Amino acid sequence: MKPGTLAAALAAAGLLTLAACGGGGGSDTPVATAPSTPATPTTPATPATPATPAVPAAPAQAPVTFANVSVHDPSVVRVDGTFYVFGSHLAAAKSTDLVNWTKIADGATATNPLFADVTKQLAETFAWAQSSTLWAPDVIKLDDGRYYFYYNACKGDSPRSALGVAVADRIEGPYVNKQVILKSGMWGEAGADGTIYDAVKHPNVVDPQVFRDKENRLWMIYGSYSGGIFILQMDPATGLPLAGQGYGRHLLGGNHARIEGAYVQYSPESGYYYLFTSFGGLDANGAYNVRVARSRTPDGPYVDAKGTDMATVKSDPAKPLFDDASIAPHGQKLMGNHQFALAAGETGTAPGYVSPGHNSTYYDPATKQYFIIFHTRFPGQGELHEVRVHEMFINEDGWPVAAPFRYVPLSRAAGTPSPVVAAADVAGSYKLVNHGKDISATIKPSQAITLAADGRVAGAVTGTWTHKGANRIALAVDGTAAVYNGVLSRQYNTNANAFTVTFSAQNADGVSLWGARVGN
């Protein structure tokens, strides 16, 4: 405050006076004056109570938006920081963050940019399969620095199929056909192994995935329904199978069991190769669901948590075609039809999936994160399908479990919460989905439970829970002998516009539980 301003303020308050000289009018006569009354002392003011410091408001979460695409049977490959997915009907899309996707190709037509006129390049394949479209492909970069596109076509109502490979210098093509590798469905004729083709034991040569094992050897796994899933060792110099293998080694399925979409992922964390497949049918009423088995070697045998050799899992030939009951008890079921209810304060459409499946996976060696990429349909939306990505984790039993919500990096969360989920963060109310073990078009609804601070589980499910450190959780559910071992994480709940505590757990019966915390 300026000095002049201070003086004016003090004068206005009666605290600043001007002193006068002499005795009033210059008179010599003394003037009598009455004595002044002493001022009454004032009571000192009570000091004001200091204000309580305001608690800083929690930072507001910026809504996360997604750019979605429809690519059926998405097979992922990463090139120079960009993720590509290639799918059926020669569809393809790309993303730099697994959240926002851009479609770059679609349709097995002469104008598709992935090929210089695919109708001519793959004429032999279309003619053999008696089809005008392509099924689920896979793309891999081999040692020569070029990209190998493993394509296939199928008649659809029979296993008459052809599988081949095309090559390009760029991931986005154009690809040039190299050759057809395998054919199937040749009724009354010899197949690749020299015996008369038999659809209940020989493969339908579709849905390839080509991968390297930890020793850098190259393999191709493939197959759908019919005789099941097979694996071949490949020549990395040519991208073709090593000679003398026929159709390769049988790993899973047979007798037209509804099993397809095989994909193998090696985990340096656990030392296992994980074989992902989809059981059931792909359409909205088909009950597609994702299952996994594991092996210490890339070509099997693959087993589930019960130790069942998946090569023995097949339909019963004495039962009607596509006998699901014989295969449903086997494999670890990661996800199937489900829907989370909206909790108080949540908005939008209740999230859930219908017939999620035909997945691929990706392991990031830099961040040590696992991702599962798949297509799914949605409750009440018919055959509309889109790509979804979820983070995966390896539980303490060495099995992969998938996060309940689609992937959004935790770096997008307001306030940068810790990736470590402490025991104190876990207690609260949850929406719980039990994926069961069945192959059913029924949509499993979430149930309300509470994980109490004292370790009790209450609500629609009862039992106990234990925080085991390192983001691990165990749930013992009343009425179920096998304990569910899971992983805690913070995932983005679109309907709440918040990153919330979740758990993904699985037991030795092959049943998965998904839990998402609601409220505070």
Condensed to tens digits (0 to 9), the pLDDT of residues 358-377 reads: 999 999 999 999 999 999 99
Q: Full-prediction pTM beyond 0.85? A: yes
Task: Give the C-alpha separation, 64 to 327, whole Å.
Answer: 39
Question: How much is the CA Rg of the chain, to the nearest whole Å?
Answer: 34
Question: 260 and 353 in contact (C-beta within 8 Å)?
Answer: no
The token pair at 256 is 């037209």
Q: Which of 518, 298, 488 is nearest to 401 (CA)?
A: 488
Kind plus residue range of the DSSP H or E element containing 146: none
The token pair at 244 is 């003398």
Q: Which of 462, 389, 399, 394 is nearest to 432 (CA)?
A: 462
Contacts of 328 (CB under 8 A, 6+ apart): 279, 437, 438, 439
Q: Which of 21, 172, 73 is nearest to 375 (CA)?
A: 73
Task: Give the C-alpha separation, 461 to 464, whole Å.
Answer: 10
Q: For position 416, what pLDDT does the model report?
A: 87
Q: For position 475, what pLDDT does the model report?
A: 98
Task: Give the C-alpha separation, 127 to 149, whole Å.
Answer: 19
Fold exhibited by the domain 424-517? Lipocalin (2.40.128)
Task: Give the C-alpha separation, 280 to 328, whole Å.
Answer: 9
Question: 22 and 31 in contact (C-beta within 8 Å)?
Answer: no
Task: Give the C-alpha separation, 192 to 265, whole Å.
Answer: 27
Q: For position 48, what pLDDT does the model report?
A: 57
- Determine phi and psi for 515, rounding to 5 degrees: -130, 140
Task: Give the C-alpha separation, 85 to 254, whole Å.
Answer: 28
Give catalytic residues, as residue numbers: 73, 260
Question: 516 and 436 in contact (C-beta within 8 Å)?
Answer: no
Q: What are the beta bridge partners of residue 94?
A: 84, 102
Could you say which DSSP state residue 8 is in?
H
Alpha-carbon distances of 213 from 117, 177, 271, 360, rounded to whole Å: 34, 26, 11, 16
Fold exhibited by the domain 74-406? Tachylectin-2; Chain A (2.115.10)
Domain boundaries, the chain: 74-406, 424-517
Alpha-carbon distances of 386 from 68, 70, 73, 138, 342, rounded to whole Å: 7, 4, 10, 18, 22
Determine the 3-state secondary structure of 424 from DSSP.
Answer: helix
Q: What is the pLDDT along the chain (520 residues), one digit of tens a residue?
A: 433 433 333 333 333 332 333 333 333 333 333 333 344 444 445 555 556 666 677 789 999 999 999 999 999 999 999 999 999 999 999 999 999 999 999 999 999 999 999 999 999 999 999 999 999 999 999 999 999 999 999 999 999 999 999 999 999 999 999 999 999 999 999 999 999 999 999 999 999 999 999 999 999 999 999 999 999 999 999 999 999 999 999 999 999 999 999 999 999 999 999 999 999 999 999 999 999 999 999 999 999 999 999 999 999 999 999 999 999 999 999 999 999 999 999 999 999 999 999 999 999 999 999 999 999 999 999 999 999 999 999 999 999 999 999 999 999 999 989 999 999 999 999 999 999 999 999 999 999 999 999 999 999 999 999 999 999 999 999 999 999 999 999 999 999 999 999 999 999 999 999 999 998 6
Residue ranges of E strands in 385-427: 386-394, 400-402
Q: What angle do CA 44, 45, 46 make, to 5 degrees?
A: 115
Question: 155 and 130 in contact (C-beta within 8 Å)?
Answer: yes
Pairing of strands 444-445, 338-339: parallel
Task: Give the C-alpha separation, 99 to 388, whole Å.
Answer: 9
Residues 274-287 have pLDDT tens digits of 999 999 999 999 99
Determine the 3-state secondary structure of 101 from DSSP.
Answer: coil
Alpha-carbon distances of 349 from 343, 353, 494, rounded to whole Å: 11, 12, 10
Contacts of 474 (CB under 8 A, 6+ apart): 465, 466, 468, 483, 484, 485, 486, 505
